[in-house]
Structure 1
Amino acid sequence: MCVIILLILCVVGAIGCTMWLRSFENFPVPYLPFAVDAAYEGMLTFWTYIIILQVMIPLSLYVTIELCKILQVYHIHNNLELYDADTNKQTECRAMNITEELGQIQHIFSDKTGTLTENKMIFRRCVVNGADYNHPPSELEKLYAKPGAPAPPLIPNETLQDDLQRLAGVGGGAYLTPHAQCIQEFLIVLAICNTVIVSAAPHRDLMNASGIIEMHQANNSPATGPTPSTLKHLRPRAKLVTTTTTSTTIINGVPPAGTMALPTDRYTRLAESRSVTPSPPPNLLFAMPAQAHQPTLSPISSSPESTPNSESPSPPLKSKALSNSISPTGRAKAVINSKITSIATFLNAKTHGKRMKIDQTKTQTIYRTADGRPLYEAESPDELALVNAAYSYDCCLLNRSPNHILVSMPTASATLEYEILKILPFDSSRKCMSIVVRQTGTQEIVLYTKGADSSIMPVLAPCTPNSPEALLREQTQQQLDRYAREGLRILVMAKRSLNAADYTDWWARHQEIEMSLENRERRLRDSFANLESNLTLLGATGIEDRLQDGVPETIASLISAGISVWVLTGDKPETAINIAYSAKLFTQQMELIKLTARSRDAAETAINFYLTEMRNAKAANSTGYSLAPRCKPRALVVDGKTLTFILDPKSKLTLPFLKLAKGCASVLCCRSTPLQKAYLVKVVKEELNLRTLAIGDGANDVSMIQMADVGVGISGQEGMQAVMASDFTLSRFRYLERLLLSHGYWCYDRLARMILYFFYKNAAFVFLIFWYQLYCGFSGSVMMDQMYLMLYNLLFTSLPPLAIGVYDNRVPEELLLKNPYLYKNGRLGLAYRPHDFWVILLDALYQSLVIFFVTLCAYAESEVGIWEFGTTITASCLFANLVHCCIEIRSWTVLHVLSIAISLALFYIFSVVYNSMCVNCFGLPSTYWVIFKCFASPVHWLVIMLSTVVAVLPRLVFRTVRISMCPDDSTKVILQSKRERSRGEGLLVTWSRSTSASSIYRIADYGSKNQIINTIT
């Protein structure tokens, strides 16, 4: 728009120049060459005006905006109210140029686990073989309530422990009851169906949250072990238990885990935890010859190695056929058997006296925490909670490598060794994870699976309706529904026994699929589904993940601010709805709309039905006959299956769904996948043209965060992927309220008013130059010195806009948080509307007319020079701009006063120095001593005062009348706050329980209570 205005002014000036010159064609001027082409001169004048009026395009505005945003980011980053002392983390701004978007958010998309919740998983309930076992909260949990603290240790259920003790008393591998066998297999699933590793040393990241590598221990020798002081620094409450033997295993020149340096050990364990489990070929019945050399196995590395002290090296194979017959599975089996046969006794499994006996052939370092349990490291808190729960019942994961797992059981001298055949990792479409293992002793191959109930229950083996298995599943499902109503996270455990032939056939087909390129992803899913079928139900768990402090209040404030909050979670609907009510995403006053369709037609019917209901309620409300239930605010619940139909472009249900969601205060999406989260953000942003914010803490939230206009990452326990992909980083969800309602409001309001002020002062300055063209024949002459033209925006008026854009608070922070509805100022774009630009432009036009013609009239018929005339106009314009700025400032600080004072000082100091020292500088016309003539002229000062008052008086009157007659919400809140403070100033209210009377005293006389102002009985 500024470009269009500039072009209009230049075209008018060029036409005026042409007309002026043509008016003298018949009246030649004596002694002056006048043989010029008027049209040609008009064209040249057009480009002259482009140069002298280019201030109309506020190029310096871009620099000012960037400076404002940088300083706004600085203040957000250093706000102590956004600092979390428990985690020692503060808010980080990773994007420097979107601070104003924090004040315009209309939709928030939030993950649940780790974002709204603590991500501190507590094993609360489990159901095994239809029997429910509760683990209620204990007093011990209060010691672990601090944010950032680990999950509290689990106190075993006495009933379940009694069943295990009866199981432990049975020898010979026999089971007391089928229920006891089911319990043992349930605990085995908890212990091994995961990616948890047993650490040989505590892990400590070398890179901090800011991306800086901190080398806490410089160690050049790889054989140097951790010192006691280092171990104490890494984990003060832990202890290191080391068993020594006669030999030490050295692998490829690297010392064993107990003697190697911590950084090397850390990266070795990291490589192991991220390695892909090797999948053996189907030669399952292979047996290693007895004379073959059996290599040892590192406690943290799964590759076979030879001990330097070995007395008999491995003999060469005698034939190529024998070489081909030794499969990787056989070699892995030999490694495991070698490992197992060398073990006769184990370390202490628990502090209460459970002994495990290990006969080791090498040094092994096992790290244990203060309570005696091994140190487990997991990819997710869920897996860690399950492994710790199994440990609480004496089912201890002792060792894990890419090839084998070692588990101790509560039975006497029971140690189970498993060879890992295949791991089927978790993915968002299957919603489950599986592991195929072979028990070393029995050679039994078993598939263990854990996952969502919606994924496991449908693939259980078929059974007759009234069979005991059907009754067991019905009892388990009832318990799962109960867990969901309590807001617990549900995982179902199942197994499938496989014979060697079936697994061999599946493995051959799967290998072929893995090497194919056509439809590989779909065929892999089908292959996994083929194996994860006909399962036997073992049990289920209910894990509690508590809400973070301040989450309900934060969500309630955001909804009160008019922001639509969407929570996207992978939990089942019952669990998610329970959490939604706890987090105040839903309230009892809301009308709950549920979309749980199993077909495209059913989804369309449900959406159209609710849309019709909403239209009818709106029509009835407009006629005054609305029913109370129809007037309730609405909340929408939709599951992942329905989202699949809605988000399918072919279904054409996306827009109707968005219309339905737009009429709801909050939306809850259950069983949603990461891709569905990202696509929901995309369609809301593009189809509804709304400003979106996505907040999450894990890698599955990265696509959603990157798709939103503003991405916020929570620096929690799910890694740094979400943080690295985000624009802003918070340590807790509750800080989002202050970030949006306070800083977001300020950033948007400040920038909007600063930009309007910038347009105003530039337009007023340009109009002054244009009015002068009426009196110089549109020649392109300027009455101001060229240095003033260059420095007016760059120096003289640069600080006041910066002060407004960074430090001006329209509403104090406490009032913004107390009145969230004020956020609509930015959400609805009220601070900068299209007509505001034209109002500012008209104001600049009026002020320029006043300044120019008041000065022109004051110097009429005088001998004032062009530079004195121009200096007076420049000074008058500067004073008018600064007074206008004073009217726009809402909260005066020292910085605001300094910006005004420094602007005036810079103008006059530069004028004095320039006019007194520069007689003929830069080839410009001389303005020597002009400013001193102005100082000595009373007309100069009278013109400045008169033109400034007349120019800004209409704006002052308009602002006063508007605040008095029709104040906006921000003004009302400020005035109400001032009235409340003045009404209660110096007063103290007391109440007597015995007399049921309340008295109001002046604080100064409260000690003597001599002056009672009022008593209410």
Structure 2
Amino acid sequence: MAVAAVSTPMAAAACPEGPQVPSTKWQQSCSAGKSPHWQRRQVSEGKRSSEGRFMGRMIITQQMEEIVRPLGPESLLLRGARLKNTKEIFGVAVYTGMETKMALNYKSKSQKRSAVEKSMNTFLIIYLIILISEAIISTILKYTWQTEEKWDEPWYNQKTEHQRNSSKILRFISDFLAFLVLYNFIIPISLYVTVEMQKFLGSFFIGWDLDLYHEESGQKAQVNTSDLNEELGQVEYVFTDKTGTLTENEMQFRECSINGIKYQEINGRLVSEGPTPDSSDGNLSYLSSFSHLNNLPHLTSSSSFGTSPENETELIKEHDLFFKAVSLCHTVQISNVQTDGIGDGPWQASLAPSQLEYYASSPDEKALVEAAARIGVVFIGNYEETMEVKILGKLERYKLLHILEFDSDRRRMSVIVQAPSGEKFLFAKGAESSILPTCIGGEIEKTRIHVDEFALKGLRTLCMAYRQLTSKEYEVINRRLFEARTALQHREEKLANAFQFIEKDLILLGATAVEDRLQDKVRETIEALRMAGIKVWVLTGDKRETAVSVSLSCGHFHRTMNILELINQKSDNECAEQLRQLARRITEDHVIQHGLVVDGTSLSLALREHEKLFMDVCRNCSAVLCCRMAPLQKAKVIRLIKISPEKPITLAVGDGANDVSMIQEAHVGIGIMGKEGRQAARNSDYAIARFKFLSKLLFVHGHFYYIRIATLVQYFREERQNVCFITPQFLYQFYCLFSQQTLYDSVYLTLYNICFTSLPILIYSLLEQHINPHVLQNKPTLYRDISKNRQLSMTNFLYWTILGFSHAFIFFFGSYFLMGKDISLLGNGQMFGNWTFGTLVFTVMLITVTVKMALETHFWTWINHFVTWGSIIFYFVFSLFYGGILWPFSDSQNMYYVFFQLLASGSVWFAIILMVVICLLLDIVKKVFDRHFHPTNTEKAQLTETNSSIKCLDSMCCFSEGETACASVGRMLERVIGRCSPTHVSRTAVANLLDVTDHQRSVDHQLVTAVLENSRYVIKIMECIGSFLYQRQEHLDSLHNGLIYLLKEQ
């Protein structure tokens, strides 16, 4: 609920301007439990979402006289506002429910979709086409074969009279839909469920990461959306704000220029250019003496100012007005240090400056007020309409007449105060580009030079000016402000005109310079981003000189970089010509790195008619700096990069409300939990406490999330469900005359995704670490291996699809030929039937996809072991239980005792293991070939990441001394692909074997050696398997010996 204050004066939420209702009468009315005896009416504007805007007026009828008072945002109390400088207020609710500012500002974020999700949808369309194609092919072949007399109506499947007389078109459609149902598992519905679970559960790891915890502020990383975890591994452009993002946003007053004289603060004393004064002289206020400027101990110089006595008085007045302007022209709130620890105590003018605590919406204002207090002009606080300032222990009260609020168009603010002497002053403060054009007096040129010098040091600058008002001028100003503020139509326009009328003919007092130091490890982070192939753009509202200085200090620009500029462009033609010149310079000096500086005005012209030319220049620059940027301009720049032909993934980082638009526009928005509120953090996708945490977020979490989900998608589509699961169903239709007979039992079909194969891939996608996290963070170049969605490229998609088809053919035809119709499998001569054949295919497929998942796993925990091997064990236990009972609620008992018969055959065991090994060897050969001829940077780092004291490349999978080959088939297969050394050789030897830099020397010999070395362990596995089968089936002895002989002959 929003409340408009219409009575007692306030500071944080000020009362309406106009005559005050006597507080005694108000208190008497309230104490009697009655409303005040005066009548009032309030007229306000309709609902509006902007929190900083509110327009209305209050009409008070007192003694038959109407008094109109304006209502503005300073009179509006929003939820969470604190009442300051007054004990109580009298208010009226103006907005409630869905008309409140909070409700109107609540907007659902635009749905951001990651590159992986887009790839998933593309693959889904492809598999939908495959599904429809398989259904059409099956339906056509069914009716083609049924036209042949020998295939039509077999004795065991005679058609009914109704079927013979039904429409062929209806039968065709019916069969087509039936095949769609039969093959529908090719559409991975469970993939989307698993992906959502992985994203949701995986997002907790970011919040739990202690490396992303900031101890000083007690803030940890926050995840506002889990849909973009993998997108952190695909970033190509980083757009960052400067103040509060690259810097601490802790302003410290450093220098100032007063009446053309430059000073710096040292130990609380203002020192002009010259030697540093002895700090033992004490910290005395510059206002300790007005007789002679040279007697002011805080203003010291290496030489005399050389001013005449007449000019001394004027110079002292200028210094006096400068610091009074600093201490009066602001919206700072103040709180006394408490001695009892309870609440805000009354204002105590006797307190020292160190006992006062200032609060400000702008860190610049807070720094300036604190600096003035150190110099000797202490802002004590506001009481009703009075601003209290202590000067040399003497308390002075200035009546606050008007506040001309800051806005981004004017880039300045002003106050009108009445001094104790009755004189009225207008004090103005703002950027030099907005203050200097309004000045008609003062040391304008000298101050301009000083401002540029401050900016070159990376300091933030503000200019101070004043104007003394006569009574007549004030009356005119008061009337114009009153008319503008009480208007309900076009109030903003009228106020802008009034402000422009008032803020003119000013006398320049000087300029201030505050320092905003860089955050820790900003330079290292930006350099790491550049090494990772990520382009960094800085978008700031600061002036050019300040922004360039900070860019140089933080490493965004290098000293050897050729800095190009697109600034101060006045027309489209001028901007286009400048862009062409820049493009020519870049082409001529293509060897040198270039940096580009653009200001907001020139950027508007460039984006209006010359987007392509501007993008060509930017793409060839190593770093881009945009200064004097408005919030919407930041979003436009990001949108321009997003829609460029390359379609790069963008990331925006900011800490303030003016960064919200670019954070929401970028593919990934990062909010810095800084000192300018929580707007950016609340509207971001991820929130961190410091800019340096960005490297861990991208290089480690982003890398891991992308690899995990990419493997998950590939595993689902090609191995677990799509191709190798449905293709045997399709092939089986050729052997059952396309009668739509399913190959697998319905219970297995139901539990395949839910129980048998779901946990291994889910745990893998949550815990997998294919390389040490410290290696990823210390080697940013590894980030390039996963950029541009390489793992889910069309090339990889075709590879996994072909691999899935090959596995499916091995499952089906391997079972068919090894267990063919001419082979008697049981001792009584009984043949295997349809359900036995389908169960064999299903068993081989389940073991293969599970063991393949084990081969992909690099980071083994007890959870991985439990779900991987437990899934296989659970399948066998369940199948024995399911097939060992006659279920009374089931219409058919197709699976009764099938699994028992299957396991009772030694040939089945041999066939299962043989087909699994053959399928996995396809992956093994591919991995060996890639690692040897085309290793990625990540694979090279995997070989060297382990400490030299460890004899195995991966300590999680090392074998202990004396371990036999039959101890664990899964762990042995991990050795086969080269993750562990076959003979426990040192990591150096293996690295030398697979080092791509030496592959020109004896490539063929090394490859053959590696394959043969791995083949020895395949032989050991087969010997173990053969030994086991020999104990079960003596008649397989000859087959076993023959296989061993062939392997040894290799």
Task: Name the TM tier (shorter chain).
Answer: 0.7 to 0.9
Contact 2:286 2:376 in 1 (8 A): no
Partner of 1:392: 374
> Identity over aligned residues, as a percent?
32
Partner of 1:451: 430
1:83 and 2:85 aligned = no
**Separation in 2 of the partners of 1:27 and 1:491?**
94
Contact 1:135 1:157 in 2 (8 A): no
Q: Deviations over 1:519-555 (max 9, x none)?
A: 6545543432232222111011111111111111011
Scaled by the length of structure 2, the TM-score of the pair is 0.71
**Separation in 1 of the partners of 2:796 and 2:641?**
28
How is 1:878-957 mapped onto 2 (pairs within 5 angstroms)?
Answer: 878-957=846-925
Q: 2:583 aligns with which of 611, 624, 631?
A: 611
Shift of 1:589: 2.9
Residues 401 and 699 (structure 1 numbering): CA distance in 2 closer, same or farther, change over 3 Å?
A: farther
**Separation in 1 of the partners of 2:318 and 2:755?**
81
Q: Any idea what SS the aligned residue of 1:177 has? A: helix
Q: Any idea what SS the aligned residue of 2:479 has? A: helix
Partner of 1:277: none
Q: Deviations over 1:17-51 (max 9, x none)?
A: 22232223896555834543555433222212222
Partner of 1:268: none
1:696 and 2:654 aligned = yes
Partner of 2:845: 877
Contact 1:18 1:41 in 2 (8 A): no
Q: 1:748 aligns with which of 706, 718, 727?
A: 706
Partner of 1:164: 287
1:535 and 2:493 aligned = no
Q: Deviations over 1:331-365 (max 9, x none)?
A: xxxxxxxxxxxxxxx73243xxxxxxxxxxxxxxx
**Separation in 1 of the partners of 2:506 and 2:282?**
27
Q: 1:59 aligns with which of 181, 189, 195?
A: 189
Contact 2:221 2:688 in 1 (8 A): yes
Contact 1:110 1:568 in 2 (8 A): yes
The amino acid that maps onto 1:534 is D
Residues 26 and 536 (structure 1 numbering): CA distance in 2 closer, same or farther, change over 3 Å?
A: closer
The amino acid that maps onto 2:639 is K
Q: Deviations over 1:704-737 (max 9, x none)?
A: 2222221111112111111111111111111011
Q: Deviations over 1:786-843 (max 9, x none)?
A: 0111111121111222133222223321221222122123332212102211211111
**Separation in 2 of the partners of 1:675 and 1:729?**
21
Q: Any idea what SS the aligned residue of 1:120 has? A: strand
Q: Any idea what SS the aligned residue of 1:134 has? A: strand
Partner of 1:186: 322
Contact 2:835 2:894 in 1 (8 A): no
**Separation in 2 of the partners of 1:3 and 1:635?**
48
1:70 and 2:204 aligned = no
Partner of 2:526: 555
**Separation in 2 of the partners of 1:923 and 1:156?**
99
Shift of 1:925: 4.4
How is 1:802-841 mapped onto 2 (pairs within 5 angstroms)?
Answer: 802-841=762-801
**Separation in 2 of the partners of 1:516 and 1:130?**
42
Q: 1:652 aligns with which of 609, 628, 634?
A: 609
Partner of 1:476: 447
Contact 1:156 1:393 in 2 (8 A): no
Residues 138 and 436 (structure 1 numbering): CA distance in 2 closer, same or farther, change over 3 Å?
A: closer
Residues 983 and 807 (structure 1 numbering): CA distance in 2 closer, same or farther, change over 3 Å?
A: closer
Partner of 1:263: none
For structure 1, the residue ranges without an aligned partner over 5 or more in a row are 140-153, 203-226, 235-256, 259-298, 301-345, 351-370, 464-468, 618-628, 986-1017
Residues 122 and 156 (structure 1 numbering): CA distance in 2 closer, same or farther, change over 3 Å?
A: farther
Q: Any idea what SS the aligned residue of 1:376 has? A: strand
Q: 2:685 aligns with which of 727, 730, 749?
A: 727
Partner of 1:430: 410
Shift of 1:161: 5.2
Residues 62 and 168 (structure 1 numbering): CA distance in 2 closer, same or farther, change over 3 Å?
A: farther
Partner of 1:22: 147
Shift of 1:769: 1.0
**Separation in 2 of the partners of 1:134 and 1:381?**
19
Partner of 1:281: none
Partner of 1:286: none
Q: Deviations over 1:652-686 (max 9, x none)?
A: 12332222222222211112122222222222223
Q: How many residues get paired?
A: 789
Shift of 1:695: 1.3
Contact 2:772 2:945 in 1 (8 A): no
The amino acid that maps onto 2:625 is L
**Separation in 1 of the partners of 2:460 and 2:787?**
35
Partner of 2:731: 771
Residues 21 and 401 (structure 1 numbering): CA distance in 2 closer, same or farther, change over 3 Å?
A: farther
Residues 27 and 135 (structure 1 numbering): CA distance in 2 closer, same or farther, change over 3 Å?
A: closer
Q: Any idea what SS the aligned residue of 1:956 has? A: helix
Q: Deviations over 1:479-505 (max 9, x none)?
A: 222211111111111112222333433
Q: Any idea what SS the aligned residue of 1:420 has? A: strand
Higher relative contact order (CA 8 A, sep 6+): 1
Moved more, 535-544 or 524-533: 524-533
**Separation in 2 of the partners of 1:820 and 1:185?**
54
The amino acid that maps onto 1:607 is L
Contact 2:287 2:391 in 1 (8 A): no
**Separation in 2 of the partners of 1:197 and 1:27?**
94
The amino acid that maps onto 1:877 is M
Q: 1:678 aligns with which of 615, 635, 644?
A: 635
Q: Any idea what SS the aligned residue of 1:98 has? A: coil
Shift of 1:390: 0.9
**Separation in 2 of the partners of 1:187 and 1:641?**
33
How is 1:89-168 mapped onto 2 (pairs within 5 angstroms)?
Answer: 89-136=219-266, 163-167=286-290
Shift of 1:399: 2.2
Q: Deviations over 1:62-113 (max 9, x none)?
A: 1111111122211111011111122211111111211011111121111111
The amino acid that maps onto 1:376 is Y
Partner of 1:666: 623
Partner of 2:390: 408
Partner of 1:525: 496
1:843 and 2:803 aligned = yes
1:504 and 2:504 aligned = no
Partner of 1:418: 398
Contact 2:402 2:417 in 1 (8 A): yes
**Separation in 2 of the partners of 1:87 and 1:373?**
23
Q: Any idea what SS the aligned residue of 2:847 has? A: helix
Q: Deviations over 1:938-964 (max 9, x none)?
A: 122122112112222222101111101
**Separation in 2 of the partners of 1:27 and 1:88?**
78
Shift of 1:443: 2.8
Contact 1:887 1:956 in 2 (8 A): no
Q: Any idea what SS the aligned residue of 1:199 has? A: strand
**Separation in 1 of the partners of 2:890 and 2:922?**
41
Q: Deviations over 1:142-184 (max 9, x none)?
A: xxxxxxxxxxxx999989957422228999xx99621111111
Q: Any idea what SS the aligned residue of 2:792 has? A: coil
Contact 2:267 2:283 in 1 (8 A): no
Residues 199 and 160 (structure 1 numbering): CA distance in 2 closer, same or farther, change over 3 Å?
A: closer
Partner of 1:348: 350
The amino acid that maps onto 2:334 is V
How is 1:241-320 mapped onto 2 (pairs within 5 angstroms)?
Answer: 258=345
The amino acid that maps onto 2:423 is E
The amino acid that maps onto 2:127 is C
The amino acid that maps onto 2:535 is S
